[in-house]
């Protein structure tokens, strides 16, 4: 393990994974500092979602190091274990618990003991109730708290999922296409919300929407065919001839 990992919140070194001979991730290396927000862009099939899967334990890499907090080896843990370390993930397609109310969705995600017995005899405390109320306020769903999540609009589901992510109080958030399917106004608001979150937490955002990435105003990593093509501020990256070639085609 490299010394470069020290002090970083997320450290990927020479990570590779292939599915049936197809190299989805090819010697990918990436370092994220604590408190940093990073946008990941890249054409379809560049390996953005697979990278998220590797970090969150859904997919095991064939080779390479994946370290959290400079020391914890994520490749040996399962999804639940990684989530408990403080890594939260938001999916591309909003996935909330449809037959639960908005409030129950937040309660389930709320940072608390996750064991079977602890949840069996769990009783909502006053501080938990306060926290739930705060979160509902943040995601502007206070008046919808008793509504089933299935009844929410697409944009509201995205927000609820962000609320659930915050409820976990993670130190690192992985957000997959948060603006997908949102109106322009919602997209702008989501950018503000993410910037707010990034003040206290480290965030990795995967996004297609260039205006949204510009709104975030953070360092950008361009993925292509499973490895890093370019890294830097958006303007510098989008002026890179290699990036232009990948995006505009040959």
Partner 1 sequence: MLTYWLTNGFDRKAQIVTAVLVALAIVVPLGSLLPPDDSVLHISTYQVTLFGKYLTYALLALAVDLVWGYCGILSLGHGAFFALGGYACGMYLMRQIGTRGVYADPVLPDFMVFLNWKDLPWFWYGFDMAWFAFLMVILVPGLLAFVFGWFAFRSRVTGVYLSIITQAMTYALLLAFFRNDMGFGGNNGLTDFKDILGYSIQSPGTRAGLFAASALFLAFFFVVASALTRSKLGKVLVAVRDAESRTRFIGYRVEHYKLFVWTLSAVMAGVAGALYVPQVGIINPSEFDPAASIEAVIWVAVGGRGTLVGALIGAVVVNFGKTWFTGMLPELWLFALGGLFVIVTLFLPTGIVGLFARLKSLRKPPVAPVAVANQSGGAS
Per-residue H/E/C for 220-233:
EEEEECCEEEEEEC
Nearer to partner 1, 79 or 184 (CB): 79
76 vs 211 by CB, closer to partner 1: 76
Binding-site member from 115, 127, 241, 249 for partner 1 (CB under 8 A): 115
60, 122, 151, 242: residue in contact with partner 1 (rule CB under 8 A): 122
Using the rule CB under 8 A, which residue among 3, 20, 22, 123 binds partner 1?
Answer: 123
**Minimum distance from residue 95 beta carbon to partner 1 (Å):** 5
- Is residue 58 within the footprint of partner 1 (CB under 8 A)? yes
221 φ, ψ (degrees, to nearest 5): -115, 130
Count of residues engaged in binding partner 1, rule: CB under 8 A = 31
The total number of residues shown for the chain amounts to 250
* Cβ neighbour number for residue 116 with a 10 Å cutoff: 7
Site for partner 1 in 126-185 (CB under 8 A): 164, 168
Alpha-carbon distance of 45 to 17, in angstroms, equals 13
Do 180 and 62 meet the contact criterion of CB atoms below 8 Å apart? no
Residue 125 near partner 1 by CB under 8 A: no
Of 166, 179, 162, 181, which Cα lies nearest the Cα of 214? 179
Q: Which of 87, 82, 41, 85 is nearest to 223 (CA)?
A: 41
Which region among 64-72, 111-119, 225-233, 238-246 touches partner 1 (by CB under 8 A)? Answer: 111-119
Judged by CB under 8 A, the residue of 114, 140, 151, 242 near partner 1 is 114
**Could you tell me which of 66, 88, 51 has the C-alpha nearest to residue 8?**
66
* End-to-end alpha carbon distance in the chain: 38
Pick the binder of partner 1 from 22, 116, 241, 250 (CB under 8 A): 116
Measured CA to CA, the distance from residue 160 to residue 154 in angstroms comes to: 10
Select from 8, 49, 50, 56 the one that contacts partner 1 (CB under 8 A): 56
Question: Within 10 Å of residue 82's Cβ, how many Cβ atoms?
Answer: 22
Q: Which of the residues 64 through 103 are near partner 1 (CB under 8 A)?
A: 78-80, 83-84, 88-89, 91, 95-100
Binding site for partner 1 (CB under 8 A): 56, 58, 78-80, 83-84, 88-89, 91, 95-100, 104, 107-109, 114-116, 119-124, 164, 168
């Amino acid at each position: 393990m490299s010394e470069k990992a020290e002090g970083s919140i997320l450290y990927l070194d020479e990570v590779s994974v292939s599915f049936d001979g197809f190299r989805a991730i090819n010697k990918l290396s990436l370092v994220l500092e604590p408190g940093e927000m990073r946008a990941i862009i890249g054409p379809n099939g560049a390996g953005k979602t697979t990278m998220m899967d590797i970090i969150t334990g859904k997919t095991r890499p064939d080779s390479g190091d994946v370290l959290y907090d400079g020391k914890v080896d994520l490749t040996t843990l399962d999804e639940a274990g990684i989530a408990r370390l403080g890594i939260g993930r938001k999916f591309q397609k909003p996935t909330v618990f449809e037959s639960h109310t908005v409030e129950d969705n937040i309660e389930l995600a709320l940072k608390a003991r996750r064991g079977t017995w602890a949840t069996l005899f769990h009783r909502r405390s006053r501080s938990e109730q306060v926290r739930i109320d705060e979160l509902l306020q943040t995601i502007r769903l206070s008046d919808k708290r008793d509504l089933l999540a299935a009844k929410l609009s697409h944009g509201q589901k995205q927000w609820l999922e962000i609320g659930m992510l915050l409820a976990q109080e993670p130190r690192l958030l992985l957000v997959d296409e948060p603006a997908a399917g949102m109106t322009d106004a919602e997209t702008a608001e989501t950018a503000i919300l993410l910037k707010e979150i990034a003040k206290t937490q480290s965030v990795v955002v995967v996004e297609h929407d260039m205006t949204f990435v510009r709104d975030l105003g953070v360092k950008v990593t361009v993925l292509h065919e499973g490895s890093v093509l370019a890294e830097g501020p958006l303007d510098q990256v989008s002026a890179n001839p290699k990036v232009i070639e990948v995006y505009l085609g040959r």
